[in-house]
Chains A and B, each alone.
Chain A
């Protein structure tokens, strides 16, 4: 088993929901420890790993942000031995009936989300999707024990075990965005053995699925010269529109739109071409739906690039991704970072006259 696969399987077997990232942060911290010069935790819980460059001080810095929080559920009521729930992050309640979960009560309880039988539901829910406030969780325990050991506000994680599929694919929950964290771990590993002039700030951000608060505050705290956000994007699958979805096993997407700095985008394209990496061109017209939304706006603003990993069935417990896409993206990022030199920022200058020339 490759290191990446092993690391990723460990991460997607862990909890760490938005706002409650401690379990996953510990795993990532252990993984980054050998590859970083300094590790710290931000006030909002993001993990900051610093790998110092070999250039002269004051050195420029590149931040790579990958959110580590996962979508999940939270207990809203405990009644008659059953739990009621709401979502943390965006979840289509139509995928919930029959899902295995872990309820983080006084102990970790295995549970199952259940759709009550028709006669227990109001008429309007007896056909069609059952809304989340009518779904229940059964812990298989007696009513008394449930009442004693589970409280309102307890967290609920998906329990789907990682499934390895032929051809280096893996399926499971929380691949959004632990797959991107795995990219970052691998990038750090490569950069450790290689010269790079700039400082590298590896950041596993918090609360992306709810508030985007982790990226905003880490961006402010670290004030990187430039930033790269790695997140998952839609892979082609039933019902996904062709123009919004991408092939797995064909490399990452480079995402073009207003959260992306256009010249940084161009320099990524140049590196990909020079080093012969395949990549796919993605566009978003308004918002990238990633940490880039707030990270771009941290402090006086940060030139930013977004790299996407195509993934099937986003925000379900059976997300699917290609391991090789993770490894390829990690190498691409390492190659990009290695070529950052003292003059790199000149290439990002807004130059009105030149832009006009380029437009022609």
Chain B
């Protein structure tokens, strides 16, 4: 399918207020199952931008922004509100709380980190044994989650109930060309959808889902896609950039994505094989509009698209991610220009979607 560049098209501007919104979203703690802090920010931002919105049984926010005209294609955009984190499992007194990990966090990332616990954001730390007290044999092994505690200080003994969620406490910052903060996976996707709602395409009906529980099994997306029943869907996420130098100096050929190289278009990951017509549409738009993009290396991992595409009679789906380093740790790093290019690529691609889009050839 050939794309003709629309000469009138202008990329949506990313203004300081968009970055400020991403900062607020990143600093909010919303671990899978407890997305209220992000839900609150999203609702306050979108309520004047959309035609209608609702919250479903699981806590997803579903909203619609209609285009101009009838029988327009219904395009779903999904970004997940939840982040990886912790759940308090028992109170051991003197400020020590045992905890479980929620979502995929390498236990080697835990020792020595500040955290925020519960809706009152009580500050605490995950301590680690003093080096003086750890034998050299002990230091050959990783510190197990079992041996770590969230410590809120003896002044907060017996204050927190088991079942309370907690997250990393890292504060967002803009550093040169980069944005650094916790939970950019997937607050950058959330902020991307909000930026698109501020500059909505008129040729489609936009159905948006801010989903819950992605990090624990793509759960929110499953029911969101059922309710919205779109013609097609795009999951917006943050994908790992494993683009560090190899220890032996060899070329890194398993980088997944590279930061600074533009939005990552998925052809296939561990959960979804992207609809080839959507892949070519978006690639063609990138080429014609000269918006940098990269193909995410196929392999493990998954996005909300993993559950969306199997909903109802099937929903042709694709994922587009902002590449991010160190996801699922205390902080991740993305490049501002990758985010801007993600919004541009999406905005331009949406403007080319019509009722013929899914009638094209599936062959690549």
Given A94-B108, A100-B331, A140-B178, CB of A165 within 8 Å of CB of B142: no
What 0/1 pattern do residues 148 to 170 of A give for CB contact below 8 A with B? 00000000000011011111110
B77 to chain A, nearest CB (A): 28
A149 to chain B, nearest CB (A): 10
Contact of B114 among A79, A97, A318 (CB under 8 A): A318
Q: Does B113 contact A (CB under 8 A)?
A: yes
A142 to chain B, nearest CB (A): 6
Q: Does B329 contact A (CB under 8 A)?
A: yes
Q: How far is the CA of A236 from the CA of B95 in the complex (A)?
A: 11
B251-272 CB contacts (< 8 Å) to partner A: 252, 254, 260
Asked if A171 and B153 sit within 8 Å, CB to CB, the answer is: yes
Asked if A140 and B333 sit within 8 Å, CB to CB, the answer is: yes
Please choose the segment from A11-19, A50-58, A107-115, A328-336 that sits at the chain B interface, where 4 or more of its residues have CB less than 8 A away: A107-115
B340 to chain A, nearest CB (A): 16
Main secondary structure of the interface of A (DSSP, over half): loop
A104-138 CB contacts (< 8 Å) to partner B: 109-110, 112, 114-117, 119-122, 125, 127-130, 134, 136, 138
Q: Which residues of A are found within 8 Å of B252, using beta-carbon distances? A: 119-120
Given A129-B108, A169-B153, CB of A112 within 8 Å of CB of B333: yes
Closest to A80 in B: B245
Q: How large is the interface on A (under 10, 10 to 19, 20 to 34, 35 or more residues)?
A: 35 or more
Q: Does B325 contact A (CB under 8 A)?
A: yes
Please choose the segment from B2-10, B144-152, B227-235 that sits at the chain A interface, where 4 or more of its residues have CB less than 8 A away: B144-152
Q: Which residues of A are found within 8 Å of B247, using beta-carbon distances? A: 116, 120-122, 125, 134
Asked if B177 and A94 sit within 8 Å, CB to CB, the answer is: no
Given A110-B180, A248-B154, CB of A313 within 8 Å of CB of B130: yes
Given A97-B109, A114-B325, A145-B176, CB of A166 within 8 Å of CB of B139: no
Asked if A166 and B156 sit within 8 Å, CB to CB, the answer is: yes
Contact of A117 among B140, B154, B159, B244 (CB under 8 A): B244
B116 to chain A, nearest CB (A): 10
Q: Which residues of B are found within 8 Å of A100, using beta-carbon distances? A: 170, 330-331
Contact of A167 among B142, B154, B254 (CB under 8 A): B154
Please choose the segment from B16-24, B118-126, B184-192 that sits at the chain A interface, where 4 or more of its residues have CB less than 8 A away: B118-126
Given A165-B124, A166-B155, CB of A98 within 8 Å of CB of B109: yes
Asked if B153 and A166 sit within 8 Å, CB to CB, the answer is: yes
Contact of A128 among B113, B125, B141, B148 (CB under 8 A): B141
Closest to A315 in B: B131
Q: Does B134 contact A (CB under 8 A)?
A: yes
Asked if A320 and B127 sit within 8 Å, CB to CB, the answer is: yes
Q: Which residues of B are found within 8 Å of A168, using beta-carbon distances? A: 155
Asked if B242 and A120 sit within 8 Å, CB to CB, the answer is: yes
Given A122-B248, A128-B142, CB of A249 within 8 Å of CB of B154: yes
Q: Does A92 contact B (CB under 8 A)?
A: yes
Q: Does B358 contact A (CB under 8 A)?
A: no
Q: Does A23 contact B (CB under 8 A)?
A: no
Asked if A169 and B244 sit within 8 Å, CB to CB, the answer is: no
Q: Does B1 contact A (CB under 8 A)?
A: no
Closest to A165 in B: B153
Q: Which residues of A are found within 8 Å of B125, using beta-carbon distances? A: 163, 171, 313, 318, 320
Q: How far is the CA of A142 from the CA of B143 in the complex (A)?
A: 33
Q: Which residues of B are found within 8 Å of A98, using beta-carbon distances? A: 109, 113, 326, 329-331
Asked if A238 and B127 sit within 8 Å, CB to CB, the answer is: yes
Given A163-B123, A238-B129, CB of A138 within 8 Å of CB of B325: yes
Q: Which residues of B are found within 8 Å of A94, using beta-carbon distances? A: 108, 111, 128, 139, 142-143
Q: How far is the CA of A44 from the CA of B235 in the complex (A)?
A: 60
Asked if A97 and B254 sit within 8 Å, CB to CB, the answer is: no
Q: How far is the CA of A125 from the CA of B246 in the complex (A)?
A: 12
Given A114-B326, A122-B247, A313-B128, CB of A240 within 8 Å of CB of B133: yes
Q: Which residues of A are found within 8 Å of B95, using beta-carbon distances? A: 165, 169
Q: Which residues of A are found within 8 Å of B260, using beta-carbon distances? A: 142
B156 to chain A, nearest CB (A): 5
What 0/1 pattern do residues 150 to 173 of B give for CB contact below 8 A with A? 011111100100000000011101
What 0/1 pattern do residues 202 to 224 of A give for CB contact below 8 A with B? 00000000000000000000000
A84 to chain B, nearest CB (A): 10
Given A119-B254, A140-B177, CB of A316 within 8 Å of CB of B127: yes
Asked if B131 and A90 sit within 8 Å, CB to CB, the answer is: yes
Given A90-B132, A98-B113, CB of A169 within 8 Å of CB of B154: yes
Q: Does B112 contact A (CB under 8 A)?
A: yes
Asked if B131 and A91 sit within 8 Å, CB to CB, the answer is: yes
Q: Does B40 contact A (CB under 8 A)?
A: no
Asked if A244 and B178 sit within 8 Å, CB to CB, the answer is: no
B154 to chain A, nearest CB (A): 6
A257 to chain B, nearest CB (A): 15
B326 to chain A, nearest CB (A): 6
Closest to A127 in B: B142
Residue from A122, A134, A313 having most chain B Cβ neighbours under 10 A: A313
Q: Does A75 contact B (CB under 8 A)?
A: no
Closest to B326 in A: A114
Q: Does B339 contact A (CB under 8 A)?
A: no
Q: Does A95 contact B (CB under 8 A)?
A: yes
Asked if A240 and B129 sit within 8 Å, CB to CB, the answer is: yes
Q: Does B94 contact A (CB under 8 A)?
A: yes
Q: How far is the CA of A145 from the CA of B176 in the complex (A)?
A: 10
Q: How far is the CA of A125 from the CA of B142 in the complex (A)?
A: 11
Asked if B112 and A99 sit within 8 Å, CB to CB, the answer is: yes
Asked if A237 and B156 sit within 8 Å, CB to CB, the answer is: no
Known pairs A92-B134, A320-B151; list 6 more (Cβ under 8 Å).
A94-B143, A128-B141, A139-B176, A166-B156, A318-B113, A320-B153
Closest 7 pairs (CB-CB, A-B): A167-B155, A140-B178, A165-B153, A166-B155, A314-B130, A318-B125, A95-B112
Chain B: residues with CB nearer than 8 A to chain A?
94-96, 106, 108-109, 111-114, 122-134, 139-143, 147-149, 151-156, 159, 169-171, 173, 175-178, 180, 240, 242, 244-248, 252, 254, 260, 325-326, 329-331, 333
26 residue pairs A–B, Cβ–Cβ below 8 Å? A97-B329, A110-B175, A114-B326, A115-B106, A119-B242, A119-B246, A119-B252, A120-B245, A122-B247, A128-B141, A128-B142, A139-B175, A141-B175, A142-B177, A161-B114, A163-B114, A165-B123, A166-B122, A166-B153, A234-B133, A239-B134, A313-B125, A313-B127, A316-B127, A318-B112, A320-B153
